Amino acid sequence: MVILMKIVMAFIASILIGNVENRRPTRNSKMWNTNLDDNYDYIVVGAGSAGAVVAARLSEDRKNRVLLLEAGGHYDENEDIHVPILWPTLMNTRQDWQYYTEPQTHSFQGLNDNRGFFPRGKVLGGTSCINAMQYTRGSPFDYDEWEAAGCYGWGYNDILKYFLRAENIDIDELRYSPYHSKGGPITNTYSYRTELSDIYLKAGQELGYPITDYNGEDQQGFSTIQKTIRNGVRSSTGLEYIGRAKYKDNLHVSLNSLATKIEIVHKRAVGVYFIKDGMTYYVKCNKEIILSGGSINSPQLLMLSGIGPRDHLTQLGIPVHADLPVGQNFQDHQLILLKTKINKPISINPGVLGDTFNQFMYRYFKTGPYSTSGGDASAFLHLDQSKVGTTYPDIQMIFQSSLIHANGINMKQEIADEVLESDPNAHGFTVAVCTTHPRSIGSITLRSTDPLEHPKIDPAFYTDERDLDTLVGGIRLFEQLIETNTFKELGANLDGNNYSFCSNYTFRSDDYWKCVIRHISITEYHHSSTCKMGARHNPMAVVDPQLRVIGINGLRVADASIFPNVTSGNTNIPAIMVGEKAADMIRKGTRGSFRRKGYRSRG
């Protein structure tokens, strides 16, 4: 009777809120083109967080003929993409590139073969289709630092308009904030929150931290997580910029099309080779080619095309068109997971997700636990309080209102047996303590000249030990939170993080935490900076502030790989901003054409 009453009330609520059909994802099938033209004005390689944006915006000019090449398939091939709580299940699927790092010495010691797992979206919408959906722009200090380093036009005051252009704010208290806007493609909302959401904020307040909008004037403090979710459905760039868009006959989208090489003639990019359905094709470009493959794929394709470090390309027998430090500035946030059980049944666990009512509510009304990513709060904190207001925070904390139940990060079995929660009905939460500006710098290099072979990924985590010290400092801040009355009332404690594989050290000592970090810390999935933007005289720059590849005409890069330095926090929204700004620069600055023919099969 109780369940029946809930269903009746939910049905009435759905009528008041709006038609249920409007809450389902939609697709525009007319754009999935199999009969491509022999040439296009613009070719965008990669339909991810930035690429889908670039293609959609360029095609708004009806005179532009745009081709969008995506190595993966359509997002509707896996319905779980649209269900926010199921994001962890999307790893190791067809929609994931399933990258692994080279074996590491300083990190990943508790992972199989000491190799980190680096998932990346291989689908229309890219990683915006498989990420945890946290809407984070970074600190204003990030972008002002970019500009001070010679990236003119990328200061915070310059790029804020592109964040606003992309956003559709669906949070009542932020609706009239000058830092937010309504009407853009990507919805920003709180979505469903557990009771733990307010508890996290209360604990932060107990330590004297403000409750803030981390996408506003200053990141410092505790905030409810803002998420890229629209009416209970993931708000990805593939869906919002391409799938929901009106049909445009000047935009062709070719899925399952892996770009293998850019043709360069007399220092100009003139066409793209790609593989589709086992056949090799070539299509000419009249104006510009824009690479938006992400921080792993974009440098790989550049190097395969002869743009990269001369010595490396020469060793592989690749003719060099431009000697640039492609792949040599890999940056990524490091993350350590800490967990605690609690004494109240207010988190999300497998038992909650298995509840028939919760499944019903999501299936028919897109509400309840399935309509959230599980993240309830985020904190951006300085280790040195004297620096508050003068620079970006050192630490990001993400409070996930669940325990870790599945081994999605390549842990050795004996490690996983200690770290993962085996009881499906246990309640608790997990906090990810993350660096915001790591000092360890890694690299992406080619394994071979075969475009189907994954490149070598060497993240070099903790080769600069200052990153270890920063994470230990973040753990100390979490220890202070655990001691608040707010968390004590929940029975929260750190005992569940006392692992035998680091038992040679005193529990909770600096050396103990460093041991744990070296064993089980992982990527925050924020790979960046491998095609660094900078002034043309900067020896580490691959692209200039207009995102043009230095020394090559008609070729730009627009994705997270162009970051001079990784931003503070999640990188999906900054990548979308890059897509918006890139398209704007191209539309305002490009005139004339460079027409060549030549779409052909080489099967």
> Which residues are marked as active site?
526
Would you say 68 and 252 are in contact if contact means Cβ atoms under 8 Å apart?
Answer: yes
Listed in order, strand segments (DSSP E) in 386-507 are: 395-400, 428-435, 443-445, 456-458
Would you say 191 and 227 are in contact if contact means Cβ atoms under 8 Å apart?
Answer: yes
What's the length of the chain? 603
CA 493 to chain centre: 30
Q: Where are the alpha helices (DSSP H) in 340-408?
A: 350-353, 356-365
Rg (CA), the chain: 24
Among 169, 116, 550, 159, which Cα is nearest to 333's?
Answer: 116
CA distance 196 to 200: 6
Strand pairing category for 268-276 and 279-291: antiparallel
Kindly state the tokens that stand for 292.
């938006």
Among 300, 332, 370, which Cα is nearest to 97's?
Answer: 300
Kindly state the tokens that stand for 526.
């924020």
Among 14, 13, 26, which Cα is nearest to 82's?
Answer: 26
The DSSP element (H or E) to which 311 belongs, if any, is helix 310-315
Question: In the 8-state DSSP scheme, what is residue 225?
Answer: P
Among 466, 507, 484, 460, which Cα is nearest to 379's?
Answer: 484
- Beta-carbon count within 10 A of 408 CB: 16
CA distance 311 to 22: 55
Among 520, 487, 360, 345, which Cα is nearest to 423's?
Answer: 345
